[in-house]
Amino acid sequence: MQNPVTVIQSVRLDDQNDTLVLLDQTVLPNETNFLELKEMEDIWDAIYQLKVRGAPAIGIAAAYGAYLGTKKSTAETYEALFEDFKKVKDYLATSRPTAVNLFWALNRMEDRFKQETGKSAAEVKAALKEESEAIRAEDEKICEAIGENALSLLEPGWGLLTHCNAGTIATAKYGTALAPIYLGQEKGYDFKVYADETRPLLQGARLTAWELQQAGVNVTLICDNMASIVMKEGRIQAVLVGCDRVAANGDAANKIGTSGVAILAKHYNIPFYVCAPLSTVDLECKTGDDIHIELRPSEEITSKWYEQSMAPNGVQTYNPAFDVTDHSLITGIVTENGIAYAPYSESLPKMFKK
């Protein structure tokens, strides 16, 4: 029996109508609204405004966007079409700086373009469509493999803590950090999940809690600053989080607040697992110090969720979208090809060779 949540396609291509269809994650859980986007400016805005979010989903959306933008080109030669493709690619790349999947997907689309050297514009466009669809299909298989690998680390009846949203709507299917929860549910593991609300954009409250509740999972929503007490009370046996970029040494950038959860888990001797597809592992990035952290608008802290501002007018804010969890706090990095353990500088490259 198919889970009602894992069948949701949060990102899909309507090629017949030259449209990218996205589940608008900014209006969940109160509305389930699918956007139909045709213009590159609207696709860029959807990525920047977090209407589509989650590293894999961003990559899929970018790949579809690169295809649709190129499909509109009237260029007749391979060289002229490539110029138009590059404009689209470079534009979409400016939407979010931290999620490596955005650049991975766009670079993969460029590599496919170059493989079609000398072919007609129509043939190149067809190849780009094929590549974008392949990226989506592969992510679905990757997420299921991550879920199976992560599930091997867990025991039935465990309490699990997660932060932000790394579920179906952040990927092609299943998610990364939520994948073992969905697969475990199918096998009767009876997990008890605690979802951090994840301020300031409340991805845990609005998205993870919604996903898991819709799927019939035993989920309890907690404020971010309650993570310590549920750990102290023995309610948590493992922490599962997703990731937007993993450095070569195992440092992992994820939604703001993740590093604090990792520090708490270390204190209470609870395993802390990062679930990350290999497309999120950036071996060219030596350490977390090399990861560019996106700064978001102050309104997300002061007024976004309130009828009136909850902070003094004009107060200074600091709103980084991500933080970096030091590799020393990570028990294991779960990929589709297996589980990497410290030293990550040795284990992560081996994951790519499997």
Distance CA 44, CA 12 (A): 16
Q: Which domains does the chain have, with CATH numbers?
A: 11-143 (1.20.120.420), 146-353 (3.40.50.10470)
pLDDT at 354: 79
Strands 19-23 and 34-37: antiparallel
Q: Give phi and psi for 167, each to the nearest 5.
A: -115, -160
- Six-digit token string for 75: 């260029």
CA distance 127 to 250: 34
Query: 40-48 and 55-71 are packed helices; what angle lies between their axes, rounded to 10 degrees?
Result: 170
- DSSP letters, 184-203, are HHHTT---EEEEE--TTTTH
**What is the predicted pLDDT for the residue at 2?**
57
H helix runs in the chain, sequence order: 40-48, 55-71, 78-92, 100-115, 121-151, 179-186, 203, 209-214, 227-232, 258-267, 299-302, 344-353
In the prediction, which pLDDT does 258 show?
A: 98
Among 139, 196, 224, 244, the one annotated catalytic:
244
The reported pLDDT for the residue numbered 49 is 93
> Could you write out the DSSP letters of every residue in 278-311?
GGGEETT--SGGGSPPPB--THHHHTTTSSS-SS
HSE value, Cβ hemisphere, 13 Å, CA-based, for 14:
13
Short-list 225, 228, 258, CA closest to 243: 258
Q: Cα–Cα distances in Å, from 129 out to 65, 109, 126?
A: 10, 9, 5
**Distance of alpha carbon 335 from alpha carbon 279, whole angstroms:** 10
pTM of the model: 0.90
pLDDT in 10s for each residue of the chain, 354 residues: 557 676 788 999 999 999 999 999 999 999 999 999 999 999 999 999 999 998 899 999 999 999 999 999 999 999 999 999 999 999 999 998 777 889 999 999 999 999 999 899 999 999 999 999 999 999 999 999 999 999 999 999 999 999 999 999 999 989 999 999 999 999 999 999 999 999 999 999 999 999 999 999 999 999 999 999 999 999 999 999 999 999 999 999 999 999 999 999 999 999 999 999 999 999 999 999 999 999 999 999 999 989 899 999 999 999 999 999 999 999 999 999 999 999 999 999 999 997
Burial label, 306 (beta-carbon count in 10 A; 0-12, 13-18, 19+): exposed
**Residue pointed to by tokens 């309130």:** 306
First to last CA, the chain: 32
90 annotated active-site:
no
